[in-house]
Amino acid sequence: MSEAPIHHIVFLRHGESVGNAEQRFQGQADFPLTGRGREQARALAECWQTQGMTFDRCIASPLLRARQTAEIVCAALGLAIAFDPDWMEVHNGRLAGLTHEEGNLAAPRPAFMTPYTHFGQTGESRWELYLRAGRGLQKLIDSPPVRSLVVAHGGVLNMVMYAMLNIPVQADSAGPRFLFGNTGFATLEYQPRFHNWNLVGFDGGQMREDEVE
């Protein structure tokens, strides 16, 4: 009997961006990596090379901070990249690109947020982000079971973790939070035959204490 097919997936958050360093709400505002962020990506690539880590494909958000992280890692691993906008960060409306102080003036956070409340007044809701993350996940599972690397962002990666682990979207951003720091990653396996997800490992990466989403 042949072995049951297994999807091996690593979900990786980008390295430090200019938006991270300047404590800005990023969302889909397109900030590049800092020098430190590039070094984080190179260090991870070297670590994976040493460990003999291999992938069959890489799918990345087209936003600069994720694109540049994927390019550094995939150049070291000899891997081509496909870009998919479903893995972009949450569209956070009027908050995009603003500092914490500016954001509090331009789009103050409501006293209570339902899963359907739009971020930054004009952006996506948490529910919409969850559905988009689920669509990205569906495409992964619809493809042949291989070793996949997905390079994306903290918000959308949290929602794909919710989708995989059957965690409902909750009001007011309640519920568990997966702290993907810069170049943090989660390693999972999926067995379609049994609909069985296994969280194989979680590396939180480098989290700035002053970072905003």
Average pLDDT over residues 149-157: 98
The CA-atom distances, in angstroms, between 54 and each of 77, 123, 132, 169 are: 7, 36, 27, 33
Helix (H, G, I), strand (E, B) or coil at 125: strand
Hey, what domains does the chain have and what are their CATH numbers? 7-203 (3.40.50.1240)
Which residues of the chain form beta strands (DSSP E)? 7-13, 57-60, 81-83, 147-152, 185-191, 196-203
Reported as a single tens digit per residue, the pLDDT across 38-91 is 999 999 999 999 999 999 999 999 999 999 999 999 999 999 999 999 999 999
Amino acid at 108: P
The residue from 7, 8, 89, 118 that is catalytic is: 89
Per-residue model confidence as pLDDT tens digits over 96-135:
999 999 999 999 999 999 999 999 999 999 999 999 999 9
Distance CA 202, CA 25 (A): 25
- The residues, any chain, with a CB within 8 Å of residue 117's CB and separated by 6 or more, are 110, 125, 126
pLDDT tens for residues 4-51? 799 999 999 999 999 999 999 999 999 999 999 999 999 999 999 999
In the residue annotation, 14 being an active-site residue is answered as yes
Residues 174-183, mean pLDDT to the nearest whole number: 96
Contacts of residue 58, Cβ cutoff 8 Å, sequence gap at least 6 = 70, 73, 74, 79, 80, 81, 82, 148, 149, 150, 151
Containing 76, the helix (H) or strand (E) segment is helix 64-77
Is 89 tagged catalytic? yes
| Active-site residue identified among 14, 91, 118, 153 | 14
Q: Work out the average pLDDT over 146-171.
A: 97
CB distance 7 to 192 below 8 Å: yes
| Residue type, position 121, single letter | Q
- Could you tell me which residues are beta bridge partners of residue 99? 24
* DSSP summary character for residue 62: S
- Torsion angle, CA of 41/12/152/115, rounded to 10 degrees? -140
* pLDDT for residue 208: 60
Q: How far apart are CA 176 and CA 9, in angstroms?
A: 21
Whether pTM > 0.75 for this model: the answer is yes
